Structure 1
């Protein structure tokens, strides 16, 4: 994994998560802003998946458990669509908070993936 990309990815996920939680606790339903923030987090995760697949070919190999790393990565890729699905079904202020929780979950998982990659 690329350390700078990981830091950027965690920062975006935390900011998106805090935005969604604040907007949700303010009583707003899921909107283009909150769903867009979640979509950005998902887009960064998909790019991370491509980077993780290509990295060993360029000499950036994992020193930790590759199975554990990819389990985290695939699980993290599933979290934003699951949160979005929930938000589209529920359409309440709490659905917006769930979007934020999904983003914060991704931030923690990406941080852990960096730890596993550089173990």
Structure 2
């Protein structure tokens, strides 16, 4: 079971010369986490695509912050996992707070 990535359109992952592009290590981990959870049967890829498109459409309507594809990707993953009952929204919030307290540079590649 593989994740059929959109090649074109607003939900398509960033690419350069056909290769996926990640600006920071967390982006590639978020990408891999979503694909792995899908492959493990946690959710249907079509549900994730709908959630990602909805997140992007909401940003386009509001445009109240800077664009970050993988922030929308991660938020859509959270939406799908909460919707499916894999995670509770309180768990997502608590984990986000823990991660936000990590020092700057904790995620740098060395």
Q: TM-score, normalised by structure 2?
A: 0.29
More helix by share: 1
Q: TM-score, normalised by structure 1?
A: 0.28
Q: Which has the higher contact order (CA 8 A, sep 6+)?
A: 1
